[in-house]
Amino acid sequence: MIFRVDIGLERQALAKLAARAWAWLRAGGAFYVVLVAMLLVPQALGSRWAPSAIGWARVYSGDEPHYLLQIKSLVRDHDLDVSNNYAWAGAGADDAGWGFRGEQLERHTAAQLDGRTVTWNDFFDKERWRRRKDGTWPEPPRRPGVGEPPAFRYSIHPDGIVALFSPIWLLVGDSPLLEPAVIFMSGVITLVGMFFFRMLIARFTSDDMAIKLTLLATFLGTPLWHYGRSVFTEPYMACFAIAAYALAYQPRRSWLAGVPIAAGLLMKPVFLLIPLPLLVLFAVRRRYKDIALAACPVVLMFAYMLGMNTLRFGGPFALSLPNLFAWDFSHIGDLAFDWLHGLVPFAPVLILAAMGWVTLVRRGGGEAWALAGGAALYYLLFSCWTTWHGGYCFGPRYLLPIIPLLMVGFVHVPELVRARGPWVIGGAVAIGLLSVQINALGAIPYWRYWYLHPLGTLF
C-alpha cells in the first residue's frame, strides 16, 4: 500500500511539474526555447573535414587550434609549456584539434630576449617550412641573420580560456570529447550572456515585445551567433561585458560586477576599458562601498596576471605581443564599414539600434551614458590596433564584446518604428531579416564564410 501511495504522489508531482512547464511555455517561455535551440544548432555541425556535416563540433582555423592546444597542454602535461604540444601536433597528435593532426601549425609562442619580448615568427621562416617524407614537420628554417633563438615555451595568448575551461577538462579529461566539449562551452557562455542581456535591457524598458525583438536581433542578427560555436575569447568577453553592466545596474547586486570584470581581464587585459565608465558613474553617485567591493576580485586578477607575466616573460608588464598599438586612429572607418570585418556589413541591425540610442540616452540617464562610454573606449582602442581586423576570422571579431552594448539601443526601435507608418516598419523588418540571413549563413555551417562576407558569395 505504501508503494502505491508513493507512486501516486510521484505522478501528482510530475503532473504539477508538467502543468507548470506548459503554463510557462504558453506565457512566453516557448520563445526562449526556440531562441536557445537556434543558438545551439551550429554545435551539431562537425567540420568541413568530416564525411558528414553532422557530428562532433571541431575547431576550424584562426586562433582556435592554438587555444585548444593550451588546454590540451594543461590536460596532458599539467603545465603551460606548449612547445612539446606543438611538436606532437605536427607529428600527428590531436593537441591542436582533430583537423590539425600532422598539419603545418605556426607556433603562437613568445619569450624574453635581452630585455624585450620576441615571438617565434621573429626567428623562424614558415614560408620555407617543408614536411618530412614521413609526414611530420621538423623545426622550420631560421630567418637569415638571426641569432640563437630563446626557448619558446609559452603561448602568446592569455590563459583565461584555459582557467575558465578547467571544470570541463577536469570532467572530460584527455578524451575525444574534450574538443567538442570546449566548443560547446562557447555556446553555453553565449546563452548565459543572453539571459544577462535580458536583465540589462529590462532596466530600460518594460515592453516584453521590445525585449524579445532586441534579443532576437542581438543574438541571431549579429556575429554573436557565429562565435557561440567558436574557441575564441571574444564570446566570453561579450558575456562578461553584459554581465558587468547588468549586475552593476541591480541596486542590491552591483558589487558583484567585479566578478565578470575580473574574468574579462583574464581573457584580455584591454577588456578593462569596457566597464571603466562604471567606475566614473559609481564615483559620481558616491557609491564608494560598491566600488571597493567590486574592485577586490579585479585587484586579485591583476596580481595574478602580473605574477604570470613575470614567470613566463621576465617582467610584470612584459607583453607577449608587442607593437600592436599606435596612436593614429586610422581604422575608425574600417571597424564600422569594412566589407570583410566591419560592424555594419555583418550586423545591419546596428543601424536601427543607432536610431534607438537617441531615445535611450534621453531616458536612460547615466546608465545609458556609461554603456555608450564603454563601447566607445573599446572601439577607439581597436581603431589604433595594427591587427584591427582580428586576423583570419568571420566579421568584426575584436569588436564582438561591445556589440551587445551597442544593441541596447534597439529596445526603443519598436516604438519609434510603429509611430512612423508601414513603410518604415517594412524597412526595419527588412533590415532585421537581412541581418539574420547574414549571420545564419555565417553560423550554419560555421566554417564556410571565414574571411568572406556571406552575401558576397551570392552575387
pLDDT, tens only, 95-122: 999 989 888 888 999 888 887 888 898 8
Same domain, 377 and 437: yes
For residue 109, list its beta bridge partners: 155
Residue 48 counted as domain residue: no
What per-residue confidence (pLDDT) applies to 203?
Answer: 93
Same domain, 199 and 142: no
Same domain, 177 and 151: no
| pLDDT over 70 at 10, yes or no | no
Residue 105 counted as domain residue: yes
What per-residue confidence (pLDDT) applies to 270?
Answer: 92
Residue 383 counted as domain residue: yes
Instruction: Give the residue among 209, 170, 233 at the shortest CA–CA distance from 397.
Output: 233
What per-residue confidence (pLDDT) applies to 85?
Answer: 92
Same domain, 72 and 175: no
Residue 195 counted as domain residue: yes
| pLDDT over 90 at 299, yes or no | yes
Read off the pLDDT of residues 192-230 as tens digits, 9 standing for 90 and up.
Answer: 999 999 999 999 999 999 999 999 999 999 999 999 999
Same domain, 125 and 205: no
Same domain, 202 and 315: yes
What per-residue confidence (pLDDT) applies to 217?
Answer: 96
User: Considering 113, 140, 157, which residue would you say is the last residue of a domain?
Assistant: 157
| pLDDT over 60 at 421, yes or no | yes
Number of compact structural domains in the chain: 2
The pLDDT of 343-350, averaged and rounded, is 97
Same domain, 175 and 147: no
Instruction: Output the average pLDDT for the chain.
Output: 88
The pLDDT of 444-449, averaged and rounded, is 87
Q: Which of 166-175, 222-231, 298-307 has the lowest mean pLDDT?
A: 166-175
What per-residue confidence (pLDDT) applies to 251?
Answer: 85
What per-residue confidence (pLDDT) applies to 308?
Answer: 85
What per-residue confidence (pLDDT) applies to 96?
Answer: 92
Query: pLDDT tier at 1 (50, 70, 90 boundaries)?
Result: very low
Paired sense of beta strands 154-155 and 116-119, if any = unpaired
The amino acid at 432 = G
Angle, helices 258-267 vs 288-313, to 10°: value is 20
What per-residue confidence (pLDDT) applies to 422?
Answer: 87
The pLDDT of 125-141, averaged and rounded, is 82
Range among 6-10, 58-62, 432-436 rated most confident: 432-436
Query: pLDDT tier at 15 (50, 70, 90 boundaries)?
Result: confident
**Does 15 or 197 have the greater pLDDT score?**
197
Same domain, 195 and 152: no
What per-residue confidence (pLDDT) applies to 413?
Answer: 93
- Percent share of the chain, pLDDT over 70: 93
Residue 337 counted as domain residue: yes
Residue 11 counted as domain residue: no
Same domain, 103 and 167: no
| pLDDT over 70 at 262, yes or no | yes
**Does 239 or 31 have the greater pLDDT score?**
239
What per-residue confidence (pLDDT) applies to 51?
Answer: 57
The pLDDT of 131-138, averaged and rounded, is 79
Residue 388, all three cell numbers:
584591427
Residue 178 sits in which domain range?
Answer: 162-457
Residue 151 counted as domain residue: yes
The pLDDT of 225-248, averaged and rounded, is 96
Query: pLDDT tier at 252 (50, 70, 90 boundaries)?
Result: confident
User: Considering 157, 190, 222, which residue would you say is the last residue of a domain?
Assistant: 157
What per-residue confidence (pLDDT) applies to 278?
Answer: 94
Same domain, 116 and 198: no
**Does 59 or 55 have the greater pLDDT score?**
59
What per-residue confidence (pLDDT) applies to 187?
Answer: 95
What per-residue confidence (pLDDT) applies to 361?
Answer: 92
Residue 442 counted as domain residue: yes
Same domain, 242 and 330: yes
The pLDDT of 382-393, averaged and rounded, is 89
For residue 142, list its beta bridge partners: 124
Report if pTM > 0.85. yes
Query: pLDDT tier at 318 (50, 70, 90 boundaries)?
Result: confident
| pLDDT over 90 at 176, yes or no | no
User: Considering 115, 135, 157, which residue would you say is the last residue of a domain?
Assistant: 157
Same domain, 116 and 166: no
